[in-house]
Amino acid sequence: MSINTLDAGLLSRANTIAQPGFNRWLVPPAALAIHLCIGMAYGFSVFWLPLSQSLGVTKPIACAVADPTFWGIFTDLMSALFRTSCDWKVADLGWMYTLFFVLLGSSAAIWGGWLEREGPRKAGVVSAICWCGGLLISALGVYTHQLWMMWLGSGVIGGIGLGLGYISPVSTLVKWFPDRRGMATGMAIMGFGGGAMIGTPLAKLLMDYFKSANGVGVWQTFVCMAVIYFIWMMAGAFSYRVPPSGWSPEGWVAKEHTNAMITTGQVHLKDAHKTPQFWLIWAVLCLNVSAGIGVIGMAVPMLQEIFGGGLIGKPELGFAALDTAQKSSIAAIAVGFSGLLSLFNIGGRFFWASSSDFFGRKLTYFIFFGLGIALYALAPNFAHSGNKVLFVAAFCVILSMYGGGFATVPAYLADMFGTQFVGAIHGRLLTAWATAGIIGPVVVNYIREFNKSAGVPADKLYDATMYVLAAFLVIGFICNALVRPVAAKWFMPEDQVAALQSKSSAMRSGPEGSYGIGGGAFDAKAFLAWAFVGIPIVWGVYMTYLNVVKLFN
């Protein structure tokens, strides 16, 4: 069944147009319900070490050593897809993480235009089916020890779900909040950054519950999380509403912008990618993401290998010298690091995107790149000094800006190209994320593997990686400096814009200001909707706090 054959009634865009009296503050919780679930993609590193000993349970069953040539590494990876006699390598599992973001960007680009026509509800439903169905296929892959099933399930099918779920609220919220574009896009995708903050400790609790002498508890965890996530994502999808064409908040009037970086025109989807601005912002996003995404994917193993016994008060013991019980202890502590990064990822999305309404998008990205370069370059020094506080603080700031980059870029696009096609343009721009999903993890994973095979101590495995990532940000800084306003020749005539808007949505009915928070208070329904997503976030923050206490003790 193709996407277009889904029920055109309940899931149609026409049936998601808000009715008079609708409160626009009900839409952000719907977006969060979906993004908090698919955001667990960031937390998948919590599964790598357990999966790397899924057969041996207490320690990995080693495979034959691969030929160190490129062809030898490639053939070993291909054989790992079907091998059942030995455990998987972390680097082989890491390709599933890469597939997440390659398919996220690809699916967002392919179906972004479809989403603009069909509306966010249908996209949210398809996202739930793909993401949760992919988890179930991955569970079967773990149970049968078939790596290809995990790549296909979560990596490919789940990646498609990530793409559709990720862009589903962006255009909608930009239109609901024309008075605060940055804040709106921050709300739209802040949940994606916080998914790991909730999902990582949940996964750890479930794996601890299901693990036994015969298994590490991962496949059962996948099944449970698939069921939980499906319920939440469907609730979010059916809560989406879109504003009628021409709607604006009560008392708000669009003003002529004196800032040349904010356009008052509209660029058609078919023309956006023909402009240099599109590709410069593409490069800005790609380089910012490449620098952060690989670190997120290896956050848990990275902290364990760099600080080793120092995490449990035994700094004299390197990671390799720890016994099974000690490794289990530091794994639990490292989950706190992952959760803390997720907390700053989610907070940074809202903080930096909202701040960009005042600083401007271009200056905000200059801050990201300038500060990021300094922190990546200093990270190895923090690690070698044994200063966990500075090391963790540096990556918390880096991850806040990484998340802020994602949340700010839709507003950057709206400023450059207008709001008419911003969701679809954003979808195409996410091919930058797909590219970064290859570059970032490959840089981190394979420099680590190369250094490890060369005998580099565990606490120095990531030094070269940090300098390479800092270089990425230098190039990103230059690309951002080259962004200029879009030339007038790319803007659509006003009558063409009016015709498109009349086709995409029913005309407004009801009195002026009857939609949105301007027409009423933050009522009980809005409070319950925010509680629905707020309670898990509070739980995630609390679990992060408990693990952070362990980290610094």
Q: Give the DSSP H/E element, type plus range, for residue 203.
A: helix 181-210
Per-residue confidence (pLDDT) for residue 512, from 0 to 100: 42
pLDDT level of residue 505 (50, 70, 90 thresholds): very low
What's residue 386's pLDDT? 79
Per-residue burial over 411-436, b = 16 or more CB atoms within 10 Å of its CB, e = otherwise:
bbbbbbbbbbbbbbbbbbbbbbbbbb
The string of pLDDT tens digits covering residues 467-477 is: 888 999 999 99
Q: Is residue 182 part of a domain?
A: yes
Lowest mean pLDDT segment, chosen from 276-280, 418-422, 518-522:
518-522
Range 496-506 average pLDDT = 64
Q: In this structure, is residue 493 part of a structural domain?
A: no
pLDDT of residue 259: 64
Q: What is the rounded average pLDDT of the residues 20-43?
A: 89
Q: Domain for residue 11, yes or no?
A: no
d(CA 548, CA 337): 7
Q: What is the chain's mean pLDDT, rounded?
A: 83
Q: 10 Å Cβ neighbour count for 553? A: 9
The pLDDT value given to residue 520: 43
Question: Residue 506 burial by CB count (10 A; 0-12/13-18/19+): exposed, middle or buried?
Answer: exposed
The percentage of the chain sitting over the pLDDT mark of 90, rounded to a whole number, equals 31
**Secondary structure element (H or E) that encloses residue 333, with its range:** helix 324-359
Look at residue 131 in the predicted model and tell me its pLDDT.
Answer: 97
Which range among 247-256, 403-412, 428-437 shows the weakest confidence by mean pLDDT?
247-256
Above 90 in pLDDT, residue 190? Answer: no
The whole-number pLDDT of residue 483 equals 94
Which runs of consecutive H residues, i.e. helices, occur in 360-421? 361-384, 388-417
Q: How far apart are the C-alpha atoms of 449 and 51, rounded to whole Å? A: 17
508: pLDDT confidence band, cut at 50, 70 and 90?
very low
At residue 145, the pLDDT reads 92
Report whether pLDDT(312) > 80.
no
Number of domains making up the chain: 1
Looking at residue 185, its pLDDT comes to 77
Is residue 543 in a domain? yes
Q: Higher-confidence residue: 213 or 505? A: 213
Domain range for 81: 19-249+277-486+522-552
- Decide: 372 and 398 in contact? Cβ < 8 Å: yes
**Continuous H helices in 243-323:** 269-272, 276-297, 299-307
pLDDT of 104 above 90: no
Q: Which of 66-70, 132-136, 199-203 has the lowest mean pLDDT?
A: 66-70
545: number of Cβ within 10 Å: 13
Is 12 among the domain residues?
A: no
Q: Average pLDDT in the 14-18 region?
A: 83
- Better pLDDT: 250 or 428: 428
> Would the pLDDT of 187 be above 70?
yes
The pLDDT assigned to 9 comes to 74
pLDDT of residue 46: 85
Residue 165 pLDDT class (50, 70, 90 cuts)? very high
pLDDT of residue 482: 95
CA–CA separation, 444 vs 451, rounded Å? Answer: 11
378-388 pLDDT, tens digit per residue, is 988 888 887 88
For residue 349, being part of any structural domain is answered with yes
DSSP H or E segment with residue 101: helix 90-118
Domain-located, residue 374: yes
pLDDT band at 70 (very low <50, low <70, confident <90, very high): low
CATH number of the domain where residue 406 is located: 1.20.1250.20
Answer for the pair 50, 216: CB distance below 8 angstroms, yes or no. yes
Q: How far apart are CA 92 and CA 437, in angstroms?
A: 15
Q: Give the per-residue pLDDT at 384.
A: 81
Range 520-527 average pLDDT: 72
DSSP 477-541: HHHHHT--PPPGGGBPPHHHHHHHHHHHSPBP-SSTT-SSGGGS---HHHHHHHHHHHHHHHHHH
Res 440: pLDDT: 81
Buried b (16+ CB within 10 A) or exposed e, 110-119: bbbbbbbebb
Tell me, what's the pLDDT at 385? 83
Q: What is the predicted pLDDT for the residue at 497?
A: 75
pLDDT over 60 (residue 7): no
Taking the model in full, what pTM does it have? 0.79
3-state secondary structure of 544: helix
Residue 506 lies in a domain: no
Q: What is the pLDDT of residue 13?
A: 80
pLDDT at 8: 53
Identify the band that residue 363 occupies on the pLDDT scale cut at 50, 70 and 90. Answer: very high
Residues 254-261 have a mean pLDDT of 61
Collapsing DSSP states into helix, strand and coil, what is residue 191?
Answer: helix
Task: Give me the pLDDT at residue 480, please.
Answer: 96
Which of 450, 470, 473 has its CA nearest to residue 460? Answer: 450
Q: What is the rounded distance in angstroms from the CA atom of residue 27 to the CA atom of residue 414?
A: 19
Q: Which residue has the higher pLDDT, 305 or 371?
A: 371
Q: Which of the residue ranges 128-132, 214-218, 281-285, 302-306 would you say has the lowest mean pLDDT?
A: 302-306
Task: Give the burial string for 33-71 (b: 16+ CB within 10 Å, else e).
Answer: bbbbbbbbbbbbbbbbbbbbbbbebeebeebeebeeeee
